[in-house]
Structure 1
Amino acid sequence: MQPLILASTIAIGMMLGYKLNDKPEIDLISAHSYPNDSIYQTGRVEELIRFIDNRYVDKINADELTNAAVEAIFSKLDPHSVYMTPQEVEDNNVSMNGKYYGIGIENYFIDDTINVSNVFNQSPAAKAGLKMFDKIVSIDGIGVAGQKMDYDQIRKMMHKELGQSLELGVMREGQPLKFKLNIEEIPLKSVKYDYLPDIQTEVIKIDRFAAHTYSEFMAAIETHFKDNKAKHLIIDLRNNPGGYLPEVVNILCQIFEEKERLLFYTEGRNNKKNEYKTTGKRFFNINKVVVLIDENSASASEILAGAIQDWDRGLIIGRRSFGKGLVQEQYALNNGGAIRLTVSRYYTPSGRSIQRNYTNASQYGNDLTARYVHGDLFYKDSTLVKDTEVFQTKILNRKVMGSGGITPDIFIGLPEQDRDPAYYEIKSLIPEFAFTYLSHHTELVKEAGRPQVDDKVEKAFKKFISEKSELFDSVKEHFHFEPFREEIAHEMWEVTLKAYNNDVVVRFYDKFMNAAISVIRTDKGPADYTIEK
């Protein structure tokens, strides 16, 4: 039984090739079998639906009515207690189990067409000869490009069982091709890593805490710490919605050398206090630790960052995290769905509950927008969290804040230009632009180097956003390209590296990473920082 912690507004997508923009919700959860006398079999809900079905003037969909009734019940609880449809359960299982059945691609859904954006090494897609930039125009003989179909419809067409086959019609540089692929088990990694030799530092990016995250983390650590090449560690938890609790505990036990050190505890009305402590069985010596977080770092990510901060073990860099301090248990239902019920709260070593106030569901759901408008994402002194209880760290007695998320020791704001909604929207279009531009200039990809952002790229970008951005007209007269140059260059480089089966972990223009590297280079540590500085 694995407790699981995730946030409801963040996602982790992939299908047979998911578009990575779509992420199903994940929360700190334990899995349970729901009793046979579930709400789907007995009780007032079923009785009411059955009565309506027998007597109502028009034909009804009993399943839809039941789902609506269940959702109405959960709307009266906290935002993370939810009913999950069978499809949502399946999506969540795929992202958290570290594997799925498919062909091994990632894709963009651009202009009503699926464009292959990545082909996993040794996958059925790679074996069959599918390539980046291929456009999928048919599935098993049925046209899907330019058909005004929803992405979910196409996704369902690609969904097959292990051992079945799939026939894809593809357009490649104007030439029609056909591929027959077998559905296989595709591993889905949650950890990426890189090494910075000049500062002897391992950088580990954790996308989520899935079933095999700890083993992947240890494989990354062993790569450079085993021979004492690496001394320091940067853990990137940005956009990490959380995951399985044991994975977080095991990782923290490799960061703390002490035994029986409290990492966090959980407690609820019907759940006794349960403390999670270090084992004292650390395999490698890790000196400095820096953790990167942002407003999308939630639940299990906040547990890790909170333990590091409360014990003054390292520095937290970034922006205030999501603020989810609730623990759920998940119960399987007979219809293939599940319910997630909040059963307890978790507390950091100093006793903090970092859960945001959720008495107003609308405000809770719109928190990120409120933070953007208020300036919370731009300036360290503009936080929306007021009058929160103050706690002290366990070693240095530094002041740390309670509810509202983990407040970083070093604040990294969004660029000032992003305060303009038009620029913020334009920035979000950069990944799609980089991919689209290189799909029309594949000679740049074949060079396997960093594509240059020249005048042609600038001209193409302006044309692209004028067609894609609804807000571009408001800044058209005073639009400046320079603020976007570095990010476009890196996105183009990332596309190029993916074509050669390489991951990008350290971005050369990343202010978070640059701040972390600066900390590693200096003798400064937690004693030199408080959240008030």
Structure 2
Amino acid sequence: MDNITKYYVDPVNGKSLTESAIVAMLEKLDPHSTYIPAEELNEARSTINGSFIGVGIRFQIMKDTLNVVSTTPGGPSERIGILPGDKIVNVDGNTIAGIGLKNADVRSKLMGELGSKVKLEIKRKNVKDNLVFTIVRDKIPIYSVDAHYMIDKETGYIRLNAFSGTTIEEVQTALRELKEKGMKNLIFDLQGNGGGLLDAAHNLADEFLSGDKLIVYSEGRAQPRSNRKAGKKGLFEDGKLILLTDEYSASASEILSGSIQDWDRGLIVGRRTFGKGLVQRPIPLIDGSEIRLTIARYYTPTGRFIQKPYDDPEMYKKDITQRFLNGEFIHADSIHMPDSLKFKTLKTKRTVYAGGGIMPDFFVPLDTTENSTYFSKLFQGGHVNSFSYKYINENRESLKQKYPTFEAFNTNFKCDEAFMNTFFDY
């Protein structure tokens, strides 16, 4: 690099060139060894850590305007008086509306150091003049449990979006609340869950598996075999258990699913998972950036390695699309595994498979109504989100009175003909 900087015919950006070289080098290894620039590292760590430093709002950009969708309960924005439906028009004296406004740009302006201040100018419905708030940035939780509730008198439901540093505490809280409501059966939703921390997957499996059962083991060229086992009395070791998976359930989701399936503890329902069986270790670099280097492979209790092949990087990137085109998401009999990938579960000796994700015990096809051209255009154009936002803002008080709790909304809200006509008119 010194010679290039010194002798190349034109001036060069040494930082950009070095980063490009690191990325190209890692791409030659495997699809999951990655480089994260210093300026992106805090955001990349936030989901894994279960928190970030910011102002505590969920926002959405609609018609080139930054809209507050919700505020974090107890967070700095809620405490100071910012409301859902507010429009942020200025941040620290700089206009934040206009063509080309990106989510990443907004996050970079709202996130910062703990205790630092940011000034927001707000336009509020039915208020003539704009409001100005000075907010002190604080630690904002990122919840990995999206929802938990009772489906019927005996069946609970938990949806998990990631495996983070706070996942086990969140799930334990959800399990206790559901058990207090009479839960005997549990549906645990991992659809779309791309994974996260190995520790979180291990600890979560320990809530469902009894004794000292093996949960997962990992091994690499310079990494001796490491066994992770159950070791405590879990909160849900006995009831009926179903895990929901799809093609985007990956990594830690597959560790949990594989351990439950191998021990015949529960059933996997849905579609074949992503197929990521590689373990990364974060390696910090001197400029504050980080390499996440693959150091080991992980295996389910029966010894299954579920990483899909990655000899062809381009085909790897297109794998999900190709699976869809092959009919895998629609037809249960579209996948044919060789005998060499067959394994037997540890209790009932059922056949399970390795080599490219966790195969479900019961197949559920993709809901094709969500993949029609019309439906896709509605979502990709932002029409559903913008209508929902507009409808809630115009009916916020009446909705809160009619549905004071999530349970009330979940049980009683109906998309009747009048509601749909309002959407079509929009």
CA distance in 1, matches of 2:335, 2:377: 23
Helix, strand or coil at the partner of 1:100:
strand
Matching of residue 357 in structure 1 with residue 319 in structure 2? no
Helix, strand or coil at the partner of 2:230:
strand
Structure 2 unaligned residues grouped into runs of 5+: 404-408
Partner of 1:251: 204
Helix, strand or coil at the partner of 1:369:
helix
Q: 2:191 aligns with which of 238, 241, 262?
A: 238
Helix, strand or coil at the partner of 1:279:
coil
Counterpart code for 1:129: G
Structure 1 pair 363–462 and aligned structure 2 pair: CA distance change class (3 A): farther
Structure 1 pair 174–145 and aligned structure 2 pair: CA distance change class (3 A): farther
Counterpart code for 1:239: G
Structure 1 pair 436–93 and aligned structure 2 pair: CA distance change class (3 A): same
Matching of residue 201 in structure 1 with residue 163 in structure 2? no
Counterpart code for 1:377: F
Partner of 1:498: none
Partner of 1:128: 80
Matching of residue 69 in structure 1 with residue 21 in structure 2? yes
Structure 1 pair 52–463 and aligned structure 2 pair: CA distance change class (3 A): farther
Q: 1:329 aligns with which of 281, 290, 311?
A: 281
User: What does 1:466-505 correspond to in 2, within 5 Å?
Assistant: none
Q: What do the CA deviations read for 1:367-417 (whole angstroms, capped 9, x no partner)? A: 121222222222222338777711111111111121111111122222233
User: What does 1:359-374 correspond to in 2, within 5 Å?
Assistant: 359-374=311-326
Shift of 1:457: 4.2
Q: Percent identity?
A: 36
Deviation larger for 328-337 or 177-186: 177-186
Partner of 2:35: 83
Does the CA contact (< 8 Å) of 2:209 and 2:237 recur in 1? no
Matching of residue 276 in structure 1 with residue 228 in structure 2? yes
Q: What do the CA deviations read for 1:191-211 (whole angstroms, capped 9, x no partner)? A: 244332744233222221111
Matching of residue 438 in structure 1 with residue 392 in structure 2? yes
Counterpart code for 2:34: V
Shift of 1:444: 5.0
Helix, strand or coil at the partner of 2:82:
coil
CA distance in 1, matches of 2:331, 2:54: 44
Helix, strand or coil at the partner of 1:243:
coil
Partner of 1:376: 328
CA distance in 1, matches of 2:420, 2:237: 47
Matching of residue 177 in structure 1 with residue 177 in structure 2? no
Matching of residue 229 in structure 1 with residue 191 in structure 2? no
Shift of 1:321: 0.8
Matching of residue 265 in structure 1 with residue 233 in structure 2? no
Helix, strand or coil at the partner of 1:263:
strand
Structure 1 pair 385–424 and aligned structure 2 pair: CA distance change class (3 A): farther
Counterpart code for 2:171: F
Q: What do the CA deviations read for 1:497-529 (whole angstroms, capped 9, x no partner)? A: xxxxxxxxxxxxxxxxxxxxxxxxxxxxxxxxx
Counterpart code for 2:102: D
CA distance in 1, matches of 2:339, 2:351: 14
User: What does 1:99-178 correspond to in 2, within 5 Å?
Assistant: 99-173=51-125, 175=127, 176-178=130-132
Shift of 1:179: 1.8
Partner of 2:143: 189
Structure 1 pair 168–348 and aligned structure 2 pair: CA distance change class (3 A): same
Does the CA contact (< 8 Å) of 1:202 and 1:230 recur in 2? yes
Structure 1 pair 416–62 and aligned structure 2 pair: CA distance change class (3 A): same
Shift of 1:364: 0.7
Shift of 1:440: 4.5
CA distance in 2, matches of 1:220, 1:361: 40
CA distance in 2, matches of 1:155, 1:294: 29
Helix, strand or coil at the partner of 1:240:
coil
Shift of 1:341: 1.2
Structure 1 pair 228–145 and aligned structure 2 pair: CA distance change class (3 A): closer
Q: What do the CA deviations read for 1:25-57 (whole angstroms, capped 9, x no partner)? A: xxxxxxxxxxxxxxxxxxxxxxxx221212223
Aligned residues: 414
Counterpart code for 2:354: G
Deviation larger for 228-237 or 59-68: 228-237
Helix, strand or coil at the partner of 1:229:
coil
Q: What is the root-mean-square deviation of aligned Cα atoms in Å?
A: 2.4
Structure 1 pair 113–402 and aligned structure 2 pair: CA distance change class (3 A): same
CA distance in 1, matches of 2:39, 2:155: 41
Helix, strand or coil at the partner of 1:83:
strand
Counterpart code for 2:176: E
Structure 1 pair 234–364 and aligned structure 2 pair: CA distance change class (3 A): same
The TM-score with structure 2 as length reference comes to 0.90
Partner of 2:368: 416
CA distance in 2, matches of 1:423, 1:158: 33
Shift of 1:64: 0.2
Structure 1 pair 313–125 and aligned structure 2 pair: CA distance change class (3 A): same
CA distance in 1, matches of 2:183, 2:65: 44
Does the CA contact (< 8 Å) of 2:111 and 2:137 recur in 1? no
User: What does 1:26-37 correspond to in 2, within 5 Å?
Assistant: none
Partner of 1:26: none
Partner of 2:12: 60
